[in-house]
Amino acid sequence: MIDFQTSPDQYRHWKLQVEGETAWLRLDVSETGTLFDGYELKLNSYDLGVDIELNDAIQRLRFEHPEVKSVVVCSAKEKIFCAGANIRMLGGATHGHKVNFCKFTNETRNSIEDATDCSSQKYLCAINGTAAGGGYELALATDYIVLADDGSSTVSLPEVPLLAVLPGTGGLTRVVDKRKVRRDLADVFCSTEEGVRGQRAVDWRLVDECVPTSRFLDRVRERAAEMAAESDRPSDATGVKLSPLQRQIAEDTVRYSHVTVELNRQKRIATVTLRAPTDAAPGDIAGMEAQGDRFWALALCRELDDAILHLRTNEATLGTIVFRSEGDPETVVGYDRFLHDHADHWLAREIMLYWKRTLKRVDLTSRTLYTQVTPRSCFAGFLAELVFAADRSYMLDGVFEDEDPDAPPATLTLTASSFGPLPMSNGLTRLQTRFLGEPDSVEKAQALVGKPLDAQAALDAGLVTYAPDDIDWEDEVRLALEERASFSPDSLTGMEANLRFAGPETMETKIFGRLTAWQNWIFQRPNAVAERGALRLYGTGERAEFNHERV
């Protein structure tokens, strides 16, 4: 089992050091610290384990260190920044592992950009040595790149000429979309094995500065201080320590404090149930701060995030995720209102941004998503987004007469959370994406904010797909799940990814939609992974054998 939980005292590959307003993330990969046998992590190359630590460090810097305003990403090894994803690992890994690896690394680099753009915690990359492939892609995720001018430090994306694959972590997109490198120069750069160094890297906009070795570190510190001065993060706030999640994994269940995952491997379904708290939201900021990582909105988000990653990586055959919820919707609305009322507080801001990232992770998960809204559900506020993230949603009209006749009918409650702060990767809210061809429906939905909607009202507003009554519920839901399980998982993955992201294309949708789709295909092509393919023969001195037909 691959575990996404870790902490700085368990890191094997990263060294995290905080110096006042600046943190230093130094990459020092342990060659033997691999997730699997069969390869070594030489030259600061990485596998999923390295990125799990990086993701954890980014989260901790946001929550545990509000005083940190700039972050320097650098290498602890001489003359090598990062050689990128480990080639031996890629050559020997299963197709599914490679694709999930690329998806997670993309999400992690997006979280760096989100920290810069939304949390005012700005990232700088100091490249003193070679930054190749995924190493340069890591640098591209930061806001500013300083390259040592020593005659040997270079940046490169050599995947096409060397490995017959693509840079898998957004490199192609960020070069032209983010750094706005001219297309013809980008073409030269991405088909050149040795990369680009010195002033040419600056002139082509591949890096921001090229600095002689004698004053390299001084300039990095100086620029980090300049970036910190632009931040609005508080200097005197106390961070929230992220303690280990309370999680129990059994044969058919994964249990957290607020989330339970039930695994039905025969039907290939995972049912994820989220529970509302029994206590109301605190009355003030001090109450939230006193609860720390036990504050329900933060604790629930951490658990959901971990559950989704666990299902993606460790339960590949469970093709459908069903979301359910339990608890008082008014209590959830109270927490939602609390976060909006205190949106200018750094911790409330971070919690909502974490929900944004986690909901995006849900959107980008290659599983069928169904949501069931039943009596005693609490899909309200930011939890209502799981209804709109679903490929289909079913809401019971009335109650289950035989099971719980005294239960209040199911309701769905909209709040401001559905109208701005939790956008999808396409830059639109889930309701804007849902109603792309009928913007008036978004305005009508906004007029329903704060009103508990029963099944018929939710159906009339276009907020749910179906609203069967007690008589039809069991058969409709069962048939829908059985039908889904009978389809080709490959076709479903492609269909769902195409339908979920209507609307404008952004850098994120290009990376996850266009790039991931191509990489998914290329990772199965003989030119890359056959016995005489480039990934398999890399480092042997033998030339790969290609089928030269264009497909």
Do 348 and 414 sit in the same domain of this protein? yes
How many whole angstroms separate alpha carbon 103 and alpha carbon 121?
23
Q: Is residue 538 part of a domain?
A: no
Q: Is residue 543 part of a domain?
A: no
Do 108 and 179 sit in the same domain of this protein? yes
Do 121 and 262 sit in the same domain of this protein? no
How many folded domains does the chain comprise?
Answer: 2
Q: Is residue 266 part of a domain?
A: yes
Name 23's Cβ contacts closer than 8 Å, sequence gap at least 6: 16, 17, 61, 65, 68, 70, 71, 72
Residue with tokens 């909105």: 297
Residue with tokens 């994306």: 157
Burial of 539-550, coded b for 16+ CB within 10 Å and e otherwise, reads eeeeebeeeeee
DSSP SS3 for 413: strand
Do 373 and 430 sit in the same domain of this protein? yes
Closest to 306 in 3D by CA, of 1, 68, 551: 1
DSSP SS3 for 217: helix
How many whole angstroms separate alpha carbon 457 and alpha carbon 476?
20
Do 270 and 389 sit in the same domain of this protein? yes
Closest to 67 in 3D by CA, of 353, 294, 346: 346
Q: Is residue 236 part of a domain?
A: no
- Token readout for 110 is 């997006």
Q: Is residue 298 part of a domain?
A: yes
pLDDT of residue 272: 98
Q: Is residue 398 part of a domain?
A: yes
Domain boundary among 201, 229, 257: 229
How many whole angstroms separate alpha carbon 3 and alpha carbon 144?
32
Do 108 and 190 sit in the same domain of this protein? yes
Do 258 and 221 sit in the same domain of this protein? no
Closest to 143 in 3D by CA, of 88, 217, 82, 72: 72
Q: Is residue 526 part of a domain?
A: no
Which residues are 413's β-sheet partners? 380, 452
The answer to whether residues 348 and 396 touch, using CB atoms and an 8 Å cutoff, is no
Q: For residue 272, give the H/E element and its range.
A: strand 269-275
Q: For residue 27, give the H/E element and its range.
A: strand 22-27
Domain boundary among 198, 229, 260: 229
Name 122's Cβ contacts closer than 8 Å, sequence gap at least 6: 69, 70, 71, 115, 116, 143, 144, 227, 228, 230, 231
Domain boundary among 480, 499, 518: 499
Q: What is the pLDDT along the chain (551 residues), one digit of tens a residue?
A: 999 999 999 999 999 999 999 999 999 999 999 999 999 999 999 999 999 999 999 999 999 999 999 999 999 999 999 999 999 999 899 999 999 999 999 999 999 999 999 999 999 999 999 999 999 999 999 999 999 999 999 999 999 999 999 998 999 999 999 999 999 999 999 999 999 999 999 999 999 999 999 999 999 999 999 999 999 999 999 999 999 999 999 999 999 999 999 999 999 999 999 999 999 999 999 999 999 999 999 999 999 999 999 999 999 999 999 999 999 999 999 999 999 999 999 999 999 999 999 999 999 999 999 999 999 999 999 999 999 999 999 999 999 988 888 889 999 999 999 999 999 999 999 999 999 999 999 999 999 999 999 999 999 999 999 999 999 999 999 999 999 999 999 999 999 999 999 999 999 999 988 888 888 889 899 999 999 999 899 989 999 999 999 87
Closest to 63 in 3D by CA, of 294, 291, 238: 238
The answer to whether residues 138 and 82 touch, using CB atoms and an 8 Å cutoff, is yes
CATH number at residue 293: 3.90.226.10
pTM of whole model > 0.95? yes
Do 86 and 200 sit in the same domain of this protein? yes
How many whole angstroms separate alpha carbon 373 and alpha carbon 394?
6
Do 148 and 218 sit in the same domain of this protein? yes
Q: Is residue 550 part of a domain?
A: no
Q: Which domain holds residue 438?
A: 248-499
How many whole angstroms separate alpha carbon 94 and alpha carbon 78?
32
**Residue 202: how many CA atoms within 13 Å on its side-chain side?**
10
Do 335 and 222 sit in the same domain of this protein? no
Do 259 and 385 sit in the same domain of this protein? yes
Do 266 and 122 sit in the same domain of this protein? no
